[in-house]
Structure 1
Amino acid sequence: MVTAKPGWIGGLAEWTEGDTAYLSVAFTWKLNDAYQRAVYYRALGYKVRAGGPGIFTRKHFLADVAEIGGDVPDAVSRHNPAATIASRGCPVGCWFCIVPKMEGKEFTLLPEFPVRPILCDNNLSGLPADYQNFIIERYLGEGVPLLDANSGFEPRTFDEDCFVRWSRINKGPWRFAYDDHHERCYVERVMRMLRDVSPRRKRVYVLIGNEPVAACMERIKEVIAWGGEPHVQPYMKLNALERTPFPRFDWNKQLLRDVARWANSPQIWRKTSFDRYRRSVKTAERYDEQQGLFL
Protein backbone atom coordinates (compact mmCIF):
# COMPACT_ATOMS: atom_id res chain seq x y z
CA MET A 1 0.00 0.00 0.00
CA VAL A 2 1.26 3.50 -0.88
CA THR A 3 1.32 5.63 2.27
CA ALA A 4 0.79 9.38 2.49
CA LYS A 5 3.82 11.64 2.79
CA PRO A 6 3.98 14.87 4.83
CA GLY A 7 3.01 17.99 2.87
CA TRP A 8 1.33 18.34 -0.52
CA ILE A 9 2.37 15.63 -2.96
CA GLY A 10 2.00 17.67 -6.13
CA GLY A 11 -1.37 16.85 -7.63
CA LEU A 12 -1.54 13.07 -8.08
CA ALA A 13 -2.34 10.84 -5.12
CA GLU A 14 -2.34 7.05 -5.38
CA TRP A 15 -3.03 4.26 -2.93
CA THR A 16 -4.37 0.72 -2.78
CA GLU A 17 -7.07 -0.89 -0.66
CA GLY A 18 -7.67 -4.58 -1.13
CA ASP A 19 -7.80 -5.38 -4.83
CA THR A 20 -8.40 -1.76 -5.90
CA ALA A 21 -5.92 0.98 -6.74
CA TYR A 22 -7.11 4.57 -6.37
CA LEU A 23 -5.89 7.62 -8.30
CA SER A 24 -6.92 11.12 -7.19
CA VAL A 25 -5.98 13.71 -9.81
CA ALA A 26 -5.95 17.35 -8.71
CA PHE A 27 -4.75 18.93 -11.98
CA THR A 28 -5.49 18.07 -15.59
CA TRP A 29 -1.79 18.26 -16.44
CA LYS A 30 -1.32 15.22 -14.22
CA LEU A 31 -3.60 13.08 -16.42
CA ASN A 32 -0.81 11.62 -18.53
CA ASP A 33 1.01 10.55 -15.38
CA ALA A 34 -2.25 9.16 -13.99
CA TYR A 35 -2.81 7.15 -17.16
CA GLN A 36 0.60 5.51 -16.84
CA ARG A 37 -0.01 4.69 -13.18
CA ALA A 38 -3.37 3.16 -14.05
CA VAL A 39 -1.70 0.95 -16.65
CA TYR A 40 0.91 -0.04 -14.07
CA TYR A 41 -1.66 -1.03 -11.44
CA ARG A 42 -3.75 -2.97 -13.95
CA ALA A 43 -0.64 -4.92 -14.94
CA LEU A 44 -0.29 -5.89 -11.27
CA GLY A 45 -3.84 -7.18 -11.26
CA TYR A 46 -5.59 -4.30 -9.50
CA LYS A 47 -8.89 -2.77 -10.41
CA VAL A 48 -8.37 0.97 -10.83
CA ARG A 49 -10.64 3.85 -9.77
CA ALA A 50 -9.85 7.45 -10.70
CA GLY A 51 -11.38 10.76 -9.69
CA GLY A 52 -10.67 14.31 -8.59
CA PRO A 53 -10.85 17.79 -10.14
CA GLY A 54 -8.31 16.85 -12.80
CA ILE A 55 -10.64 14.16 -14.11
CA PHE A 56 -13.77 16.30 -14.20
CA THR A 57 -13.19 18.18 -17.46
CA ARG A 58 -11.71 15.16 -19.24
CA LYS A 59 -13.76 12.25 -17.94
CA HIS A 60 -12.91 9.99 -20.88
CA PHE A 61 -9.13 10.40 -20.64
CA LEU A 62 -8.69 7.37 -18.37
CA ALA A 63 -11.94 5.61 -19.25
CA ASP A 64 -10.23 2.67 -20.95
CA VAL A 65 -7.96 1.94 -17.96
CA ALA A 66 -10.00 2.97 -14.90
CA GLU A 67 -13.46 3.28 -13.42
CA ILE A 68 -14.17 7.02 -13.32
CA GLY A 69 -15.85 8.98 -10.55
CA GLY A 70 -17.70 7.98 -7.44
CA ASP A 71 -17.18 9.33 -3.95
CA VAL A 72 -14.10 8.44 -1.91
CA PRO A 73 -14.40 10.08 1.51
CA ASP A 74 -11.46 12.16 2.73
CA ALA A 75 -9.49 11.81 -0.51
CA VAL A 76 -7.89 15.20 0.23
CA SER A 77 -5.87 13.60 3.02
CA ARG A 78 -4.14 11.46 0.39
CA HIS A 79 -2.81 14.69 -1.11
CA ASN A 80 -1.81 16.04 2.30
CA PRO A 81 -2.43 14.14 5.55
CA ALA A 82 -2.79 17.47 7.37
CA ALA A 83 -5.65 18.65 5.11
CA THR A 84 -9.40 18.40 5.56
CA ILE A 85 -12.66 19.73 4.08
CA ALA A 86 -15.74 20.77 6.07
CA SER A 87 -17.92 21.79 3.11
CA ARG A 88 -18.12 21.57 -0.66
CA GLY A 89 -19.51 23.87 -3.33
CA CYS A 90 -19.56 27.64 -3.74
CA PRO A 91 -22.41 29.97 -4.69
CA VAL A 92 -20.22 32.63 -6.35
CA GLY A 93 -19.98 30.82 -9.71
CA CYS A 94 -16.75 32.29 -11.12
CA TRP A 95 -16.45 31.36 -14.81
CA PHE A 96 -12.80 30.32 -14.50
CA CYS A 97 -13.34 28.09 -11.44
CA ILE A 98 -14.10 24.37 -11.53
CA VAL A 99 -15.76 24.29 -8.09
CA PRO A 100 -19.34 25.34 -9.04
CA LYS A 101 -19.22 23.08 -12.09
CA MET A 102 -17.97 20.09 -10.13
CA GLU A 103 -19.42 20.59 -6.64
CA GLY A 104 -22.38 22.86 -7.33
CA LYS A 105 -23.44 26.41 -6.47
CA GLU A 106 -25.02 25.36 -3.20
CA PHE A 107 -23.02 24.35 -0.15
CA THR A 108 -22.88 20.73 0.93
CA LEU A 109 -21.99 20.66 4.61
CA LEU A 110 -19.79 17.86 5.96
CA PRO A 111 -20.20 18.10 9.75
CA GLU A 112 -18.36 14.84 10.42
CA PHE A 113 -15.14 16.21 8.86
CA PRO A 114 -11.86 15.21 10.54
CA VAL A 115 -10.28 18.23 12.23
CA ARG A 116 -6.82 18.94 10.80
CA PRO A 117 -4.52 21.99 10.56
CA ILE A 118 -5.22 22.75 6.87
CA LEU A 119 -8.82 23.58 5.97
CA CYS A 120 -9.51 23.47 2.23
CA ASP A 121 -13.11 24.70 1.98
CA ASN A 122 -13.78 26.82 -1.08
CA ASN A 123 -15.57 29.76 0.56
CA LEU A 124 -15.48 29.88 4.35
CA SER A 125 -17.02 33.32 4.79
CA GLY A 126 -19.94 32.42 2.51
CA LEU A 127 -20.99 29.52 4.74
CA PRO A 128 -23.95 30.01 7.09
CA ALA A 129 -22.74 31.76 10.24
CA ASP A 130 -23.93 28.92 12.49
CA TYR A 131 -21.91 26.41 10.48
CA GLN A 132 -18.85 28.64 10.59
CA ASN A 133 -19.22 28.65 14.36
CA PHE A 134 -19.66 24.88 14.33
CA ILE A 135 -16.34 24.45 12.47
CA ILE A 136 -14.57 26.80 14.85
CA GLU A 137 -15.94 25.01 17.92
CA ARG A 138 -14.76 21.69 16.49
CA TYR A 139 -11.22 23.08 16.22
CA LEU A 140 -11.32 24.59 19.70
CA GLY A 141 -12.82 21.44 21.17
CA GLU A 142 -10.15 19.18 19.72
CA GLY A 143 -7.29 21.59 20.39
CA VAL A 144 -6.14 21.59 16.76
CA PRO A 145 -4.61 24.84 15.47
CA LEU A 146 -5.87 26.14 12.11
CA LEU A 147 -2.58 26.79 10.35
CA ASP A 148 -3.96 27.44 6.88
CA ALA A 149 -7.45 28.28 5.64
CA ASN A 150 -6.19 27.15 2.27
CA SER A 151 -8.74 28.41 -0.25
CA GLY A 152 -9.62 31.34 1.93
CA PHE A 153 -12.45 33.77 2.33
CA GLU A 154 -14.71 35.57 -0.13
CA PRO A 155 -14.24 39.39 0.01
CA ARG A 156 -17.94 40.06 -0.69
CA THR A 157 -19.06 38.13 2.40
CA PHE A 158 -16.13 38.76 4.75
CA ASP A 159 -17.27 41.28 7.36
CA GLU A 160 -16.25 42.31 10.88
CA ASP A 161 -18.27 39.49 12.44
CA CYS A 162 -16.53 36.96 10.21
CA PHE A 163 -13.11 38.42 11.04
CA VAL A 164 -13.75 38.23 14.79
CA ARG A 165 -15.21 34.75 14.47
CA TRP A 166 -12.25 33.22 12.62
CA SER A 167 -9.64 35.18 14.59
CA ARG A 168 -10.34 32.76 17.42
CA ILE A 169 -8.57 29.92 15.60
CA ASN A 170 -6.79 31.21 12.48
CA LYS A 171 -3.05 31.01 13.12
CA GLY A 172 -2.05 31.20 9.48
CA PRO A 173 -2.47 33.74 6.67
CA TRP A 174 -5.73 35.43 5.82
CA ARG A 175 -6.32 34.38 2.21
CA PHE A 176 -8.58 36.15 -0.26
CA ALA A 177 -8.95 36.40 -4.01
CA TYR A 178 -8.86 39.56 -6.12
CA ASP A 179 -9.94 38.12 -9.46
CA ASP A 180 -11.11 41.17 -11.39
CA HIS A 181 -11.67 44.91 -11.08
CA HIS A 182 -15.30 44.42 -10.02
CA GLU A 183 -14.05 43.15 -6.64
CA ARG A 184 -11.96 46.24 -5.88
CA CYS A 185 -14.23 47.81 -3.27
CA TYR A 186 -14.71 44.50 -1.45
CA VAL A 187 -10.99 43.67 -1.33
CA GLU A 188 -10.10 47.18 -0.19
CA ARG A 189 -12.69 46.91 2.58
CA VAL A 190 -11.20 43.60 3.74
CA MET A 191 -7.68 45.01 3.73
CA ARG A 192 -8.84 47.89 5.91
CA MET A 193 -10.26 45.34 8.36
CA LEU A 194 -6.90 43.59 8.42
CA ARG A 195 -4.84 46.78 8.77
CA ASP A 196 -3.27 45.63 12.06
CA VAL A 197 -2.38 42.18 10.68
CA SER A 198 1.18 41.53 9.50
CA PRO A 199 1.60 41.87 5.70
CA ARG A 200 2.88 38.28 5.53
CA ARG A 201 -0.47 37.10 6.91
CA LYS A 202 -2.47 39.00 4.27
CA ARG A 203 -2.13 36.76 1.20
CA VAL A 204 -4.24 37.80 -1.76
CA TYR A 205 -4.69 35.47 -4.74
CA VAL A 206 -4.52 37.73 -7.81
CA LEU A 207 -5.66 36.14 -11.06
CA ILE A 208 -3.84 37.52 -14.11
CA GLY A 209 -4.51 36.95 -17.79
CA ASN A 210 -8.29 37.19 -17.40
CA GLU A 211 -8.16 40.96 -17.97
CA PRO A 212 -5.79 43.16 -20.00
CA VAL A 213 -2.24 43.59 -18.70
CA ALA A 214 -2.78 47.09 -17.30
CA ALA A 215 -5.85 46.04 -15.31
CA CYS A 216 -4.12 42.97 -13.82
CA MET A 217 -0.98 44.90 -12.92
CA GLU A 218 -3.14 47.54 -11.22
CA ARG A 219 -4.72 44.87 -9.01
CA ILE A 220 -1.28 43.56 -7.99
CA LYS A 221 -0.08 47.07 -7.14
CA GLU A 222 -3.23 47.75 -5.11
CA VAL A 223 -2.69 44.64 -2.99
CA ILE A 224 0.84 45.82 -2.22
CA ALA A 225 -0.32 49.40 -1.53
CA TRP A 226 -2.99 48.13 0.84
CA GLY A 227 -0.34 46.32 2.88
CA GLY A 228 -0.79 42.76 1.63
CA GLU A 229 1.29 40.22 -0.26
CA PRO A 230 0.10 39.13 -3.71
CA HIS A 231 -0.02 35.49 -4.73
CA VAL A 232 -0.32 35.75 -8.50
CA GLN A 233 -1.99 32.96 -10.46
CA PRO A 234 -1.82 33.10 -14.28
CA TYR A 235 -5.06 32.09 -15.97
CA MET A 236 -5.10 28.50 -17.22
CA LYS A 237 -7.75 26.54 -19.06
CA LEU A 238 -9.65 24.08 -16.88
CA ASN A 239 -8.80 21.23 -19.26
CA ALA A 240 -5.11 22.07 -19.86
CA LEU A 241 -2.94 18.97 -20.35
CA GLU A 242 0.26 20.98 -19.86
CA ARG A 243 1.06 23.19 -16.91
CA THR A 244 1.31 26.37 -18.94
CA PRO A 245 -0.68 29.62 -18.67
CA PHE A 246 -3.16 30.54 -21.39
CA PRO A 247 -2.69 34.07 -22.78
CA ARG A 248 -5.69 36.28 -23.53
CA PHE A 249 -6.03 39.98 -24.35
CA ASP A 250 -2.54 41.56 -24.67
CA TRP A 251 -0.79 38.85 -22.63
CA ASN A 252 1.65 36.19 -23.82
CA LYS A 253 2.90 33.11 -21.98
CA GLN A 254 6.28 34.58 -21.12
CA LEU A 255 4.78 37.76 -19.73
CA LEU A 256 2.38 35.74 -17.57
CA ARG A 257 5.32 33.75 -16.17
CA ASP A 258 7.44 36.86 -15.63
CA VAL A 259 4.73 38.73 -13.73
CA ALA A 260 4.08 35.67 -11.54
CA ARG A 261 7.76 35.26 -10.66
CA TRP A 262 8.15 38.97 -9.92
CA ALA A 263 4.99 39.30 -7.85
CA ASN A 264 5.23 36.05 -5.91
CA SER A 265 8.59 36.85 -4.39
CA PRO A 266 8.53 39.66 -1.81
CA GLN A 267 12.31 39.78 -2.17
CA ILE A 268 11.82 40.92 -5.77
CA TRP A 269 8.83 43.29 -5.80
CA ARG A 270 10.00 45.01 -2.65
CA LYS A 271 13.29 45.84 -4.35
CA THR A 272 12.30 46.62 -7.92
CA SER A 273 9.25 47.54 -9.98
CA PHE A 274 8.16 45.16 -12.71
CA ASP A 275 9.32 47.46 -15.50
CA ARG A 276 12.86 47.11 -14.10
CA TYR A 277 12.61 43.36 -13.48
CA ARG A 278 14.84 41.16 -15.62
CA ARG A 279 14.19 37.43 -15.86
CA SER A 280 17.90 36.88 -16.67
CA VAL A 281 18.72 37.65 -13.04
CA LYS A 282 18.82 34.33 -11.22
CA THR A 283 16.22 33.93 -8.52
CA ALA A 284 15.33 30.96 -6.35
CA GLU A 285 12.15 29.54 -7.84
CA ARG A 286 9.75 27.75 -5.57
CA TYR A 287 7.16 25.30 -6.80
CA ASP A 288 3.79 25.66 -5.13
CA GLU A 289 2.37 22.15 -5.04
CA GLN A 290 -1.05 23.43 -3.92
CA GLN A 291 -1.47 25.62 -6.99
CA GLY A 292 0.73 23.75 -9.45
CA LEU A 293 2.69 26.87 -10.31
CA PHE A 294 6.26 28.04 -10.19
CA LEU A 295 6.42 31.15 -8.04
Structure 2
Amino acid sequence: MRWLVTGGRGMFGTDLVLLLQERGEDVVAVGSAECDVRSVDAVRATMQGFDVVVNAAAWTAVDDAETHEPEAFSINAVGARNVALVAAETGTRMVHLSTDYVFDGTATEPYQPDHPQNPQSAYGRTKAAGEWAIRATNPDALIVRTAWLYGEHGPNFVKTMLRLAGERETLKVVDDQIGQPTWTKDLAAYVVDLIETGQPGGYYHGTSSGTTSWCGFAKEIFRLAGLDAERVNPCTTNDFPRPAPRPAYSVLGRTGSVGTSEWAASLREMMEIKS
Protein backbone atom coordinates (compact mmCIF):
# COMPACT_ATOMS: atom_id res chain seq x y z
CA MET A 1 0.00 0.00 0.00
CA ARG A 2 1.00 3.60 -0.54
CA TRP A 3 0.63 5.78 2.56
CA LEU A 4 0.46 9.55 3.03
CA VAL A 5 1.05 10.98 6.52
CA THR A 6 0.06 14.59 7.08
CA GLY A 7 1.85 16.03 10.08
CA GLY A 8 4.39 13.36 9.25
CA ARG A 9 7.32 15.07 10.96
CA GLY A 10 5.71 15.34 14.39
CA MET A 11 6.26 12.98 17.31
CA PHE A 12 3.63 10.44 16.26
CA GLY A 13 4.04 10.96 12.52
CA THR A 14 7.77 10.27 12.69
CA ASP A 15 7.26 6.94 14.48
CA LEU A 16 4.53 5.95 12.04
CA VAL A 17 6.70 6.75 9.02
CA LEU A 18 9.64 4.81 10.49
CA LEU A 19 7.44 1.79 11.18
CA LEU A 20 6.02 1.81 7.66
CA GLN A 21 9.50 2.11 6.17
CA GLU A 22 10.69 -0.83 8.29
CA ARG A 23 7.80 -2.85 6.91
CA GLY A 24 8.75 -1.98 3.33
CA GLU A 25 5.70 0.20 2.71
CA ASP A 26 5.70 3.14 0.31
CA VAL A 27 5.15 6.17 2.56
CA VAL A 28 5.28 9.93 2.02
CA ALA A 29 5.41 12.32 4.99
CA VAL A 30 4.32 15.93 4.56
CA GLY A 31 4.30 18.90 6.88
CA SER A 32 2.45 22.19 6.56
CA ALA A 33 5.04 23.54 4.12
CA GLU A 34 4.28 20.76 1.62
CA CYS A 35 0.55 20.42 2.34
CA ASP A 36 -1.39 23.05 4.24
CA VAL A 37 -4.47 21.08 5.29
CA ARG A 38 -6.39 24.34 5.77
CA SER A 39 -6.56 24.54 1.95
CA VAL A 40 -8.68 21.93 0.23
CA ASP A 41 -6.87 22.71 -3.01
CA ALA A 42 -3.52 21.96 -1.38
CA VAL A 43 -4.90 18.68 -0.04
CA ARG A 44 -6.25 17.73 -3.48
CA ALA A 45 -2.91 18.48 -5.10
CA THR A 46 -1.10 16.30 -2.56
CA MET A 47 -3.46 13.37 -2.07
CA GLN A 48 -3.21 11.66 -5.43
CA GLY A 49 -2.34 8.00 -5.85
CA PHE A 50 -2.42 6.96 -2.19
CA ASP A 51 -4.22 4.00 -0.64
CA VAL A 52 -4.20 5.36 2.92
CA VAL A 53 -3.91 8.82 4.45
CA VAL A 54 -3.19 9.27 8.16
CA ASN A 55 -4.06 12.78 9.29
CA ALA A 56 -1.74 13.68 12.16
CA ALA A 57 -1.69 17.38 11.28
CA ALA A 58 -3.05 19.30 14.27
CA TRP A 59 -2.85 22.36 16.47
CA THR A 60 -1.72 20.74 19.71
CA ALA A 61 -0.79 23.78 21.81
CA VAL A 62 -3.61 23.27 24.30
CA ASP A 63 -3.14 26.47 26.30
CA ASP A 64 -2.50 28.70 23.29
CA ALA A 65 -5.75 27.49 21.75
CA GLU A 66 -7.65 29.33 24.48
CA THR A 67 -6.66 32.65 22.90
CA HIS A 68 -6.25 31.39 19.32
CA GLU A 69 -9.35 29.23 18.87
CA PRO A 70 -10.07 30.31 15.26
CA GLU A 71 -6.53 29.37 14.25
CA ALA A 72 -6.78 26.02 16.04
CA PHE A 73 -10.19 25.45 14.42
CA SER A 74 -8.76 26.08 10.95
CA ILE A 75 -6.39 23.12 11.38
CA ASN A 76 -8.22 20.78 13.76
CA ALA A 77 -11.67 21.12 12.22
CA VAL A 78 -11.42 22.66 8.72
CA GLY A 79 -8.18 20.82 7.97
CA ALA A 80 -9.61 17.52 9.15
CA ARG A 81 -12.71 18.06 7.00
CA ASN A 82 -10.56 18.84 3.95
CA VAL A 83 -8.56 15.64 4.30
CA ALA A 84 -11.76 13.64 4.84
CA LEU A 85 -13.42 15.19 1.80
CA VAL A 86 -10.52 14.50 -0.56
CA ALA A 87 -10.09 11.00 0.87
CA ALA A 88 -13.73 10.32 0.00
CA GLU A 89 -13.27 11.78 -3.49
CA THR A 90 -10.17 9.68 -4.22
CA GLY A 91 -11.22 6.46 -2.48
CA THR A 92 -8.35 6.77 0.00
CA ARG A 93 -8.72 5.07 3.37
CA MET A 94 -8.40 7.70 6.13
CA VAL A 95 -7.21 7.52 9.73
CA HIS A 96 -7.51 10.68 11.83
CA LEU A 97 -5.80 11.23 15.18
CA SER A 98 -8.00 12.75 17.90
CA THR A 99 -7.88 13.20 21.65
CA ASP A 100 -9.33 12.53 25.08
CA TYR A 101 -10.03 16.28 25.33
CA VAL A 102 -13.29 15.78 23.39
CA PHE A 103 -14.69 14.45 26.70
CA ASP A 104 -15.31 16.44 29.88
CA GLY A 105 -13.07 14.43 32.19
CA THR A 106 -15.75 13.94 34.85
CA ALA A 107 -16.28 10.20 34.33
CA THR A 108 -15.43 7.56 36.90
CA GLU A 109 -15.01 4.70 34.42
CA PRO A 110 -13.31 4.55 31.02
CA TYR A 111 -14.89 6.56 28.21
CA GLN A 112 -16.23 4.29 25.50
CA PRO A 113 -15.97 5.34 21.82
CA ASP A 114 -19.69 6.14 21.61
CA HIS A 115 -19.74 8.33 24.74
CA PRO A 116 -21.15 11.83 24.03
CA GLN A 117 -18.57 14.53 23.45
CA ASN A 118 -18.48 17.38 25.95
CA PRO A 119 -15.20 19.30 25.51
CA GLN A 120 -14.27 21.85 28.16
CA SER A 121 -11.43 23.66 26.36
CA ALA A 122 -10.90 25.46 23.07
CA TYR A 123 -8.56 22.69 21.95
CA GLY A 124 -11.16 20.07 22.82
CA ARG A 125 -13.89 21.97 20.98
CA THR A 126 -11.81 22.23 17.80
CA LYS A 127 -10.91 18.53 17.89
CA ALA A 128 -14.54 17.56 18.52
CA ALA A 129 -15.60 19.72 15.58
CA GLY A 130 -13.05 17.91 13.44
CA GLU A 131 -14.49 14.55 14.46
CA TRP A 132 -18.00 15.65 13.53
CA ALA A 133 -16.83 17.06 10.19
CA ILE A 134 -15.07 13.83 9.31
CA ARG A 135 -18.06 11.66 10.20
CA ALA A 136 -20.36 13.89 8.12
CA THR A 137 -17.98 14.01 5.15
CA ASN A 138 -16.44 10.54 5.10
CA PRO A 139 -18.17 7.88 7.25
CA ASP A 140 -15.56 5.34 6.12
CA ALA A 141 -12.82 7.20 8.01
CA LEU A 142 -11.34 5.82 11.22
CA ILE A 143 -11.06 8.33 14.07
CA VAL A 144 -8.48 7.20 16.63
CA ARG A 145 -8.57 8.99 19.98
CA THR A 146 -5.47 8.77 22.11
CA ALA A 147 -4.04 10.45 25.21
CA TRP A 148 -0.86 11.36 27.08
CA LEU A 149 1.45 10.67 24.15
CA TYR A 150 5.21 10.53 24.55
CA GLY A 151 8.02 9.41 22.26
CA GLU A 152 11.55 9.90 21.02
CA HIS A 153 10.97 12.43 18.29
CA GLY A 154 9.28 15.48 19.76
CA PRO A 155 8.71 17.54 22.89
CA ASN A 156 6.72 15.63 25.50
CA PHE A 157 6.31 14.97 29.22
CA VAL A 158 9.15 12.44 29.46
CA LYS A 159 11.69 14.83 27.99
CA THR A 160 10.39 17.68 30.14
CA MET A 161 10.75 15.66 33.34
CA LEU A 162 14.29 14.58 32.47
CA ARG A 163 15.25 18.16 31.68
CA LEU A 164 13.77 19.47 34.92
CA ALA A 165 15.53 16.70 36.85
CA GLY A 166 18.80 18.30 35.83
CA GLU A 167 17.64 21.79 36.77
CA ARG A 168 15.80 21.35 40.07
CA GLU A 169 16.34 19.42 43.26
CA THR A 170 12.63 18.65 43.67
CA LEU A 171 9.55 18.89 41.43
CA LYS A 172 5.84 19.29 42.07
CA VAL A 173 3.65 17.33 39.65
CA VAL A 174 -0.14 17.12 39.49
CA ASP A 175 -1.50 13.99 41.17
CA ASP A 176 -5.27 14.43 40.68
CA GLN A 177 -5.43 13.94 36.91
CA ILE A 178 -5.61 10.30 35.80
CA GLY A 179 -4.78 8.93 32.37
CA GLN A 180 -2.90 6.44 30.21
CA PRO A 181 0.65 7.32 29.10
CA THR A 182 0.92 6.05 25.52
CA TRP A 183 4.09 5.53 23.47
CA THR A 184 3.82 6.87 19.93
CA LYS A 185 5.57 3.76 18.61
CA ASP A 186 2.84 1.55 20.08
CA LEU A 187 0.15 3.85 18.68
CA ALA A 188 1.75 3.69 15.23
CA ALA A 189 1.57 -0.11 15.27
CA TYR A 190 -2.08 0.10 16.34
CA VAL A 191 -2.96 2.39 13.43
CA VAL A 192 -1.25 0.13 10.92
CA ASP A 193 -3.10 -2.88 12.35
CA LEU A 194 -6.46 -1.11 12.01
CA ILE A 195 -5.85 -0.60 8.31
CA GLU A 196 -4.34 -4.02 7.61
CA THR A 197 -7.25 -5.80 9.30
CA GLY A 198 -9.79 -3.74 7.36
CA GLN A 199 -11.60 -2.20 10.31
CA PRO A 200 -14.76 -0.24 9.43
CA GLY A 201 -15.12 3.51 9.75
CA GLY A 202 -15.93 4.87 13.19
CA TYR A 203 -14.37 5.79 16.52
CA TYR A 204 -11.45 3.88 18.05
CA HIS A 205 -9.51 4.39 21.27
CA GLY A 206 -5.78 3.78 21.09
CA THR A 207 -4.01 3.99 24.45
CA SER A 208 -1.72 1.82 26.52
CA SER A 209 -3.22 -0.31 29.29
CA GLY A 210 -3.14 0.66 32.93
CA THR A 211 -3.59 4.09 34.47
CA THR A 212 -1.62 6.55 36.54
CA SER A 213 -1.46 10.22 37.48
CA TRP A 214 0.99 12.74 36.04
CA CYS A 215 2.85 12.47 39.35
CA GLY A 216 2.96 8.68 39.09
CA PHE A 217 4.16 8.99 35.49
CA ALA A 218 6.92 11.39 36.57
CA LYS A 219 8.04 9.15 39.42
CA GLU A 220 8.34 6.19 37.04
CA ILE A 221 10.38 8.30 34.60
CA PHE A 222 12.76 9.22 37.43
CA ARG A 223 13.02 5.62 38.61
CA LEU A 224 13.78 4.28 35.13
CA ALA A 225 16.38 7.00 34.63
CA GLY A 226 18.14 5.93 37.83
CA LEU A 227 17.02 9.04 39.72
CA ASP A 228 15.43 9.34 43.14
CA ALA A 229 11.67 9.24 42.59
CA GLU A 230 11.15 10.88 45.98
CA ARG A 231 12.31 14.12 44.38
CA VAL A 232 8.87 14.22 42.70
CA ASN A 233 6.19 15.58 45.03
CA PRO A 234 2.43 15.51 44.41
CA CYS A 235 0.32 18.63 44.02
CA THR A 236 -3.23 19.37 42.92
CA THR A 237 -4.55 20.87 39.71
CA ASN A 238 -5.44 23.99 41.68
CA ASP A 239 -1.80 24.31 42.73
CA PHE A 240 -0.76 24.43 39.08
CA PRO A 241 -3.33 26.54 37.18
CA ARG A 242 -3.22 26.54 33.39
CA PRO A 243 -5.16 28.62 30.82
CA ALA A 244 -6.96 25.53 29.45
CA PRO A 245 -8.83 23.20 31.82
CA ARG A 246 -7.37 19.68 31.96
CA PRO A 247 -9.56 16.57 32.15
CA ALA A 248 -9.42 15.10 35.64
CA TYR A 249 -10.10 11.64 34.21
CA SER A 250 -8.70 10.87 30.76
CA VAL A 251 -9.05 7.09 30.71
CA LEU A 252 -10.33 5.79 27.38
CA GLY A 253 -12.00 2.43 27.01
CA ARG A 254 -9.55 0.81 24.63
CA THR A 255 -10.59 -0.60 21.27
CA GLY A 256 -8.20 -3.46 20.58
CA SER A 257 -4.66 -3.43 21.90
CA VAL A 258 -1.95 -0.78 21.73
CA GLY A 259 1.33 -2.54 22.34
CA THR A 260 1.63 -5.75 24.34
CA SER A 261 2.38 -4.32 27.77
CA GLU A 262 1.13 -1.95 30.41
CA TRP A 263 2.15 1.70 30.03
CA ALA A 264 5.13 1.34 32.41
CA ALA A 265 6.61 -1.51 30.34
CA SER A 266 6.40 0.56 27.16
CA LEU A 267 7.95 3.52 28.95
CA ARG A 268 10.82 1.29 30.09
CA GLU A 269 11.36 0.02 26.52
CA MET A 270 11.40 3.54 25.11
CA MET A 271 13.87 4.78 27.72
CA GLU A 272 16.12 1.78 27.16
CA ILE A 273 16.20 2.64 23.45
CA LYS A 274 17.10 6.25 24.25
CA SER A 275 19.91 5.19 26.57
More helix by share: 2
**Highest CA radius of gyration, 1 or 2?**
1
**Fold in common (TM above 0.5):** no
Q: Which band: TM-score by shorter chain? A: 0.3 to 0.5
TM-score, length basis structure 1 = 0.32
Q: Which has the higher contact order (CA 8 A, sep 6+)?
A: 2
